[in-house]
Amino acid sequence: MSCFDRALPLLGTPAERLRVPYRDGPNLPGYFFAAAGDGAPRPTVVIWGGGGGHGEELYFLAGVPEALARGLNVVLFHGPGQRGLLHHHPGQVMRADAEVPLGAVLDHVAARPEVRPDRIALYGLSFGGYLAPRAAAFDRRVAALVANAPILDIHEAIMDAITTALPTPPPPDAPDAFWDEVHRQAAALDWTLAATIENSMLWTTGAASLGEFLRLTRAFRLTDLVERITVPVLSLSADGESAVQRAQAASFHERLDVPHKRFHRLTVADGADAHCGIGNIALTSSIVYDWLAGVLAG
């Protein structure tokens, strides 16, 4: 984070660090990147990463220079459960009501003179595929939504990932003691799973055990909220994701009843089949910001 801050003057675009006032805790750290230095109000994209992410990495993973090149301002921020906030405030864990922290960010962004308040888009990556649609379902200031990729039910997706790594299926309604033993043995079962449990699950939610974490994840569901989304939506889904994740993305998109929507597969042939299309960031970012530039231009 310190290196990134020192790099800001070298990026060739107006950039500043943000401290967004937040009613439920400390100020949310983030960054504002202006598409130009003339102060004119422009469409703006607020980018929200996942549970294992932080604002600085999104400059690269979300292709911020591609957005700026299309005349879009960009806002990056660390919300509850994300690295830039958790490192300094461990109690600021992930919350299902994503519209609350996003509301604080939009309060700040919409008041800036460089921003057109009627042209603010929201782009969610990874677990942002839950956070961004959830926030857009409640906050009418969001003018367009990109979900890469949409997550209808994170509990279902996580249970699929964990049980796939187990040598035998878990018993129905397995008690916490069973999941605690899975956690203990995770390093021997699947090193990636073990790292995910520790770094992207327990820490970001504040859960004391895998069993508690699995209970907490039941609150992170969009199944009853999709119809509340009313703005144009771009959904992306990478071929390399699990079958459950791909099915959830397709179901989310099919259920949308909005004036304009588009679904884009990120394929092996394009080298974009990795999680969120990060194997080909140039392509993924071009798809996202070409679409957003068109939609936000009206």
Q: What residues are labeled active site?
A: 126
3-state secondary structure of 145: strand
Spatial distance between the Cα atoms of 36 and 41, rounded to a whole number of angstroms: 10
β-partners of residue 45 are 74, 121
- Determine phi and psi for 133, rounding to 5 degrees: -60, -40
**Backbone φ/ψ region at 122: left (φ over 0), alpha (ψ -120 to 50), beta:** beta
Burial zone of 121 (CB within 10 Å; 0-12 exposed, 13-18 middle, 19+ buried): buried
H helix or E strand, kind and range, residue 133: helix 128-138
What's the chain's length in residues?
A: 298
β-partners of residue 122 are 46, 145
Spatial distance between the Cα atoms of 140 and 128, rounded to a whole number of angstroms: 18
